[in-house]
Amino acid sequence: MTPLERITQLAQTKPCYGEIPTYYLYTFGIAGERFFREIKDNAKIFGTRCPKCNLIYVPPKIYCERCFAGLEEWLEVGTTGTVHTYTIGYVDLDGSPLEEPIILAMVAIDGAYGGLVHRLGEVKPEEVRIDLKVEAVFKDQAERSGSILDIRYFKPRQK
The residue ranges that bind Zn ion (CB under 5 A) are 50, 52-53, 64, 66-67, 69
Closest contact distance (angstroms) between CB of 120 and Zn ion is 31
Exposure on the CB side of residue 116, measured as CA atoms within 13 A: 31
39 vs 64 by CB, closer to Zn ion: 64
Closest contact distance (angstroms) between CB of 156 and Zn ion is 33
- CA-closest candidate to residue 134, choices 151, 148, 147: 151
Closest contact distance (angstroms) between CB of 51 and Zn ion is 8
Strand, helix or coil for residue 10: helix
Strand, helix or coil for residue 33: helix
> In whole angstroms, what is the distance from residue 30 CA to residue 43 CA?
19
53 vs 104 by CB, closer to Zn ion: 53
17 vs 68 by CB, closer to Zn ion: 68
